[in-house]
A and B are shown apart, each in its own frame.
Chain A
Amino acid sequence: MWWLCIRFPGLMLDSLGLQAHCQPSAIMERQTVQQVNAAAAAQGVAGGQSITTALSLCPQLEAIPRQRQAEQQLLQQAALWSYRFSPLVSIDTEQATLYTELRGSLRLFKGFNRLYHYYSQAFARRNIQFCSGLAYTPSAAYLLSYAPEPPAFYRRSAGELDRQRILQQLKRLPVTRLPCKTQIIRTLQSSGIKQLGPLFSLPEAALGKRFGADFCQLIAYLKGTQQELRAPYQPAETFFSRHQFNGTLDSKQQLQRPMQMLLAELKIYLRLRQCINHGLHWQLYYSDGGEDTLLVHSSHRVFQQRALMELSRLKLDSFTLRANVESISLRCDQFESSIASSDNLFALVSGSKAGTEREENYRLVLDKLRTRLKHCYTLSEKNHLLPEKAWGAVDAQAPRPTTLPLSPISTRPLWLLHEPKAISGQHHKLYWKGPLQLLQGPERIDNEWWQRRQARDYYVARHQSGTLYWVYKDQLNHRWFVHGLFA
């Protein structure tokens, strides 16, 4: 077997798109630096340092908590992508690696060089750092990803793997690279065994006695005396893929190509899981840190990339980009089995291709209409002290807020003016379409000091017509306003 190992040494940074960031950045876990980008490394920040040391070296360092979920997603994406070349794909999150068996695909893809070219191009295009190794087992390929030679080095001209070369390279590697318990590595090191060469020369029985059967098996995988099987890659329960751009995009037109690419990934995912999605959840990530979500409803029964793209485009048309977009992601988390839906479909339209198309077109039109419809809102009480913010519009479909502290609405009118209206005072009297008489108050509000301070004294005032108004005096500019009417 020809196992290609792709190892992602910068996975923590790459999964967050920070590798090429010009701002010095470091991924932190348990107060310790895990990975740093080039800008941070240039200032002496390195893995293993404490955050205090790192910040002392580079005060402008951006310390970002490690996000394992993002790493897992990147690996999943890579596995999904790799699936197009081979049915034997495996990932290892701990080692940040992707394994693909390529022997069976060599003929289809016209040789190893061309196949490997696809890999190197794909990761380079996405600015993802990677190292690769090629060997007869995944473990050996993994260790060779640390060796300086490219994968092609381990190939004979006859199209076979060169076992001698592989072993020679492995023997030069330090034992610290072994994917095994730290305790074993420490024991080996404190016994003076620093490279795989001396380790390979020790009898299996002596190793087994000390480090157990698993370790002996690992050595056998490395030597190639035993076949190694890895748990095959299983697509995740949820589809999520994010596309990070080189720089930023500023037009909706430019977004269409990455959207197409993400839909193509979804297509492979759905084929693997033999299911069909309900809706698309697009997320736009702006360069200023903001985000926007576009929900595209779809009720299709057969995956049609073109139709989904059209729906997404429609959604995009009615939407304004708030800033330059750094990346876009697509998430789908509701599926149904495509086999089951096909059965239903056959039952509905007696299995004819034309019928299926008609049905799908009909659904597409419905989806388009829904995509064009605006939201419905209801009014709801909000947890806020300022009267104008204490009520607000809430999406009719959104869950209603849980209990709020009781609002002292007894002295507040239910009808607030859209904007407070300034009122005038004449001869020490207040006039608003006639004289007003203050009856009760003040209720004093002094808040929002952290943005635009609001200091108001509210009163209940009676109009000569008998209408009760809610008026306030702005304590900052000493002007009077009418803000509401009592029923």
Chain B
Amino acid sequence: MSTGSSINNNANNSAAGPSRTEPVQDATAGSYVELHCISNFSFLRGASHPEELVSRAAKLGYRALAITDECSLAGIVRAHTAARACQLKLIIGSEFVLAEGTRLLLLAPDLAAYRQISALISRARLRSPKGQYHIELADFLREEPRYLTIWLIDDNTNNEPIAQQLRTSFAHNLWMGIALSRQAGEQQRYLRCYQIASRYRIPMTACGNVHMHLATRKPLLDVLTAIRRNTTIGQLGRALQANAELHLRPGPQLAKLYPPALIQTANAIAERCHFRLDSLRYQYPDEVVPPGRSAGSFLRELTLAGAKQRWPEGTSASVQALLEKELTLIAELRYEHYFLTVYDIVQFARSQKILCQGRGSAANSAVCYCLFITEVDPARSQLLFERFISRERDEPPDIDVDFEHERREEVIQYIYRKYGRQRAALAATVISYRPRSAVRDVGKALGLDQSVLDKLAKSLSWWSKPEQLQQLLGQTGIAGVSAQLFLQLLEEILGFPRHLSQHVGGFIISSEAISQLVPLENAAMDNRTVIQWDKTDLESLGLMKIDILALGMLSAIRKSLSYIPAANSADNSYDNTHDTTENDGTEARRLQLQDIPAEDPATYTMLCQADTIGVFQIESRAQMSMLPRLRPQTFYDLVIQIAIIRPGPIQGGMVHPFLRRRQGLESVNYASEQLREVLARTLGVPIFQEQVIQLAMVAAGFSGGEADQLRRAMASWGKNGRLDLFRDKLVNGMLARGYTLDFAERLFSQMKGFGAYGFPESHSASFALLAYASSWLKCHHPGAFYCGLLNSQPMGFYAPAQLVQDATRHGVMVLPVCVNNSDWDHQLTAGNSLRLGFRLLKGLYRSTAVRLRALRADRPFQSMADLLARVQLDRGERNVLVRADAFRCFDSHRYQSQWQISAVEEYRPLLATAETLDDGIELAPPREVDDIRWDYSYSGLTLRRHPMALLRDQPAFRRCVKATQLSTLKPGSLLQIAGLVTCRQRPGSASGVLFITLEDETGYANIIVWKNRQQSYRQAIISGRLLLIRGALQRSDTLPGLSPEQQTPVIHVVASVIEDMTAAMPLKTSSHDFH
């Protein structure tokens, strides 16, 4: 061991204090390998990202670096990707603390050892609740160890028996790891270890116990320790790291610290490790292929059979060529099993009448269309198969399928049933520190007062941004060095993984046990396991996965369709009195998704009038204000409409040029013929991700692979500076091809704006199908449409109250909840009227609704006493029904019903007789306004007059115009308008403008609140449920070439004064408050 003998010598030795300017070593100078290094995936222990560790080790000239997180391989894919980029040898391993207290480090020399380590982690994790593990020495001895074992000796215990046991168990694959970090008493400790190692013939190796890539992370390391121990740094005492030595230190420094033999041994261990993570491959299950068949021929057969169904009159030559091209590529890349597995899952869903539809890049595939995985017809769209699978990219396909949100669990359970929990697992989502959690945890560790942290964390909500934190800190009295320190720690910890959660639906399914590929662990949800890698990790390693996603609109559409008789059905009545989720044979007579006619003019006319409440994707305020301007006339217009109202195209400044060109106000010029090919379908404006990729290829000479890297960089722009790396290449490439600098710069800035928020065309097309289907339903079968939508709540943008208001405006007669007529679900009854169901009432169980229906089947309830005598209801349920006015069929008003029902004795409800209920007291009926208030309180909506209709007579509201009157006013008119707030939005793309939507008895009014008004009326904006606005009318210009009847101007009221009038009628209404 090195001890100081002169000042110089020691002064030089001790120069590695926490300094931001540590010397980077010449790559040839060090021959050190680090065998023990944890990343921040050892949650709240490691203080550096795996990428940071790898890149620092490469800079220091390390020969190899092992990432050895505690009972976890969660960070190794990131480390692997980084190591591949900087050509550092990465060793994969993991650290364990055994139940007996011994600490072991396992390293994987080859694939077999890797599989053993992965299986051990899975075993240890699956035994314990989420986030914990349990493993004993016996677990390591179940099979011959292929891994290399390093004993991380603890000096405080009796090590003799442990040494004996480990020596016996691991024989010649055992080393003793020695970490030297200039701690007190280190020399004595080393000597004791040396004695044990000699006695038991266990070779010693250098093993740095690295926790961070730079010494400057020491403060963060201490903060993490404090968070983990739920205390403050001031209270940690000796639990703090004494110094900052647990970082990646330069080789020469380590050479002075460790005896050479220990470093040589570490090198020798590293030499034995050859395993590379990218050698991992896995096969999708075989059982999807019938015995005796090859996967390729089976896939071809299914595809061609599907093509016949899709195009009964025969496939066009171009489609045939497309199918052939895809099948050849799939066979070449051996993806057949993957397609067949997805096909099997989708088939299961269809057999169960669960509506599903693939989206994302898979919708670019004709094979997926023929397998009924996706619905975008390649004969009608311009698909870019390369966006889905490309030979050059050598990246596995990723198929996302949406299922009905209420029935997705059935699909998940099918997968588990078919493949078993050993072979099917959900991908993880890494939950990372976000501003609010970071403020709370770091602040607590620094010992800041809880109330101050509450204030700070809560202030980071609604429309405050994290950047305002410094200002907020100042307001709470934290300034100077403390504030700097706090901010620096926050900056460092942001993005640090905190724990693993389950991905919304990303499944991997394997032909062998997944635990040998990647460790499994328990999720928080019962009976759910997740793998330790997330979606990005799987992508980086080129592993296939399928996203089983939930979509509310699919439930709604399936339900709506099931209420509508098919044209050729004998029964032509709307009806959903049967529960159509049960297979009772009634569906055969009902409409199917494919029965919806394409390109229906009436539907497009409705869309041009922005009549889209409840319609998929185009029901938001922004979409609705764009519809009359864009005036969709074809399906492709709808694809554009969905893709263009996204933060990406909005921030990229694509919306207005597109609109002007579409309206013929601006000519479309193409800088070259190649650009015309790419951009002609969107009038020269890039709207889809695919177009940006194609542009880079044709205009700047990017290869397919480079263009794809560009797409990825676009997706993560803002998180790192990778997109800027492409700037020069793009601009220079375009200049070389004769484009102007101005044009090239404009294109690049559009790409930046696109960021993560641009849609691929195929994805937009998949969504457009659902948007079209729901629009058609709304246009032609509004009763069925609203019934399906209301029966799928909660979903979508609008609350039931707003949907019912809109349904009524579309001529649907909505009938109230009634004990003698309602079911659990809302029903469509004869005459296209919609009877509200018990599901609207909070506090009433579905089973009660079913009992009510069964007991009234023979004979309707005659009176309240009759009902109570026949149906056993508890007090809560009785009150829910009475307060929702469900007894009105007995000619009893709400107050009288409540008075009578409250006489039922709780313990003898069945003895309720007419006499018990009626004690001769007659109460006065409620006023209309009271009835409305009760309606909102207990069923969330009213079928009586709109609250605004009642308020019109009050002096404060007399001068208010109605929403429908806005279209008759001139632009610039000063006006007053009042209504219930249904929506408050402050989109990031609207530079601080706040949008409010008000509802009155005639419809909706769109209010714009500029930034300078928001502060003055902050209180009314945030908490008002009923607002009165004074402002000026703003109306869009008339569109050229349209008759006055066809014009649907977009009208806004620009608010100058906002008054909170909630007190005039306090109602329990709900609104959507988005960022």
Interface residues of A (CB under 8 A from B): 43-44, 49, 51-53, 55-57, 59-65, 186-187, 190-193, 202-203, 205-206, 209-211, 382-385, 404-408, 410-412, 425, 428-430, 437-447, 449-450, 455, 457-459, 473, 475-476, 478
B182 and A442: CB pair below 8 A?
Answer: yes
Q: Contact: B882 with A63, CB < 8 Å?
A: no
Residue of B nearest to A289 (CB): B449
Closest to B916 in A: A209
Contacts A192-B924, A210-B903 hold; do A57 and B1022 have CB atoms under 8 A apart?
A: yes
B894 within 8 A of A: yes
CA distance A29 to B18 in the complex (A): 44
A445 touches which of B4, B243, B446, B905 (Cβ 8 Å) = B243
Q: Which residue of B13, B18, B182, B924 contacts A443 across the interface (Cβ within 8 Å)?
A: B182
Residues of A within 8 A of B154 (CB): none
* Chain A residues within 8 Å of B181, by CB: 444
Q: Which of chain B's residues have a CB closer than 8 A to the CB of A49?
A: 1023
Instruction: Check if B898 sits within 8 Å of A206, measured CB to CB.
Output: no
When the two chains form their complex, are residues A442 and B13 in contact, meaning their CB atoms are under 8 A apart?
A: yes
Question: Given the interface contacts A425-B7, A439-B3, does A445 sit within 8 Å of B242 by beta carbon?
Answer: yes
The answer to whether A63 touches B454 (Cβ under 8 A) is yes
Interface string of B875-900 (1 = CB under 8 A from A): 00001001100000000001110110
Q: Are B461 and A52 in contact (CB-based, < 8 A)?
A: yes
Whether the pair B237, A206 counts as a contact (CB closer than 8 A) is no
B902 touches A449 (CB 8 A): no
Interface membership of B634, Cβ < 8 A = no
Q: Is A206 a contact partner of B458 (Cβ separation < 8 A)?
A: no
A444 to B244, CA, bound (A): 9
| A457/B14 contact (C-beta < 8 A), A385-B240, A425-B7, A441-B4 known | yes
Q: Are A191 and B240 in contact (CB under 8 A)?
A: no
Residue of A whose beta carbon sits closest to that of B156 = A406
Q: How far is the CA of A49 from the CA of B1019 in the complex (A)?
A: 12
Q: Would you call the interface of chain A mostly helix, strand, loop, or mixed? A: mixed
A428-B8, A459-B4 are contacts. A444–B14 as well, Cβ < 8 Å? yes
Known: A407-B238, A442-B10, A455-B17. Contact between A205 and B919, CB under 8 A? yes
- Chain A residues with CB under 8 Å of B899's CB are 191
6 further A-B contacts with Cβ under 8 Å, apart from A56-B461, A442-B10, A476-B17, are A43-B1019, A193-B923, A209-B903, A410-B185, A443-B184, A473-B14
A52 to nearest B CB, angstroms? 6
A453-B48 Cα distance, complex, nearest whole Å? 22
Q: Is the interface of B mostly helix, strand, loop or mixed?
A: helix
Given A404-B238, A428-B8, A445-B242, do A62 and B451 touch, yes or no (CB 8 Å)?
A: yes
Closest to A457 in B: B14
A203 to B3, CA, bound (A): 98
A206 to B1018 alpha-carbon distance, docked (Å): 49
Q: Lowest 5 CB-CB distances: which A-B pairs, in order?
A: A383-B237, A408-B184, A192-B895, A444-B182, A408-B185
Residue of A nearest to B232 (CB): A450
B742 on the A face (CB < 8 A): no
B residues less than 8 Å from A202 (CB atoms) = 921
Rounded to whole angstroms, the CA-CA distance of A443 and B17 in the bound complex is: 12
User: A64 CA to B450 CA in the complex, in Å?
Assistant: 10
The residue that A438 contacts in the complex, of B5, B905, B925, with Cβ under 8 A, is: B5
Q: Which of B219, B882, B899, B923 counts the most A-chain CB atoms under 10 A from its CB?
A: B899
Q: A59 CA to B1014 CA in the complex, in Å? A: 15
Least distance between A43 CB and chain B CB atoms (Å): 8
| Interface residue B973 (Cβ < 8 Å from any Cβ of A) | no
Residues of B near A404 (CB, < 8 A) are: 237-238
CB distance from B208 to the nearest CB of A (A): 15
With contacts A383-B237, A455-B18 taken as known, whether A190 is within 8 angstroms of B10 at the C-beta atoms is no
- What are 14 A-B pairs with beta-carbon distances under 8 A? A57-B1022, A59-B475, A63-B455, A187-B902, A191-B895, A211-B902, A411-B188, A425-B7, A428-B6, A444-B181, A444-B242, A455-B18, A457-B10, A473-B10
Given contacts A210-B902, A412-B184, contact A446 B462 (CB under 8 A): no
Interface residues of B (CB under 8 A from A): 3-8, 10-11, 13-14, 17-18, 156, 181-188, 215, 218-219, 222, 233-234, 237-240, 242-245, 446, 451, 454-455, 458-459, 461-462, 472, 475, 485, 879, 882-883, 894-896, 898-899, 902-903, 905, 919, 921, 923-926, 930, 934, 1018-1019, 1022-1023
Contacts of A476 in B (CB 8 A): 17
Determine the chain A residues whose CB is within 8 A of the CB of B244 once the complex forms: 446
Q: Tell me, in angstroms, the Cα distance from A210 to B243 when the chains sit together.
A: 72
Given contacts A62-B451, A444-B243, contact A475 B14 (CB under 8 A): yes
A444/B898 contact (C-beta < 8 A), A425-B7, A457-B10 known: no
Question: How far is B868's CA from A157's CA once the two chains are assembled, in angstroms?
Answer: 56
Residues of B within 8 A of A410 (CB): 184-185, 188
Give the chain B neighbours of A384 by CB distance below 8 A: 237-238
Q: How far is the CA of A60 from the CA of B896 in the complex (A)?
A: 49
CB pair B183–A64 under 8 Å, yes or no, is no
Instruction: Please give the distance in Å from A480's CB to the nearest CB on chain B.
Output: 8
Closest approach, in angstroms, between the C-beta of B709 and any C-beta of chain A? 40
Q: Is the CB of A440 within 8 A of B1022?
A: no
Chain A residues closer than 8 Å to B919, beta-carbon distance? 203, 205-206, 209
Complex-state Cα separation, A71 to B6, whole angstroms: 68
Docked CA distance A174–B349 (Å): 57
Instruction: Please state if B238 and A441 are interface contacts (CB–CB under 8 Å).
Output: no
Residue of A nearest to B938 (CB): A190
**Which A residues are CB-close (under 8 A) to B185?**
408, 410-411, 443
Contact among A191, A408, A450 for B923, CB-based, below 8 A: A191
Which residues of B are found within 8 Å of A475, using beta-carbon distances?
14, 17
Q: Contacts A446-B244, A457-B10 hold; do A57 and B898 have CB atoms under 8 A apart? A: no
A450 in contact with B485 (CB, 8 Å) = yes
State in angstroms the CA–CA spacing of A348 and B232 once bound together: 55
Q: Which residues of B contact A192 (CB under 8 A)?
A: 894-895, 898, 923-926, 930
Q: How far is the CA of A445 from the CA of B243 in the complex (A)?
A: 5
Given A55-B455, A447-B242, verify A190-B233 contact (CB < 8 Å). no
Q: Which residues of B contact A445 (CB under 8 A)?
A: 242-243
Residues of A within 8 A of B18 (CB): 446, 449, 455
Q: A191-B895, A450-B485 are in contact. Are A411 and B10 (CB under 8 A)?
A: no
Residue of A nearest to B1018 (CB): A57
Most buried by B among A63, A65, A439: A63
Indicate if the CB atoms of A411 and B7 lie closer than 8 Å.
no
A156 to B222, CA, bound (A): 73
Q: For the complex, give the distance between the alpha carbons of A326 and B252 in Å.
A: 60
Task: Decide: A473 and B11 in contact? CB cutoff 8 A.
Answer: yes
Question: For B234, what are the chain A residues with a Cβ–Cβ distance below 8 Å?
Answer: 450
A408–B184 Cα distance when bound, in Å, is 6
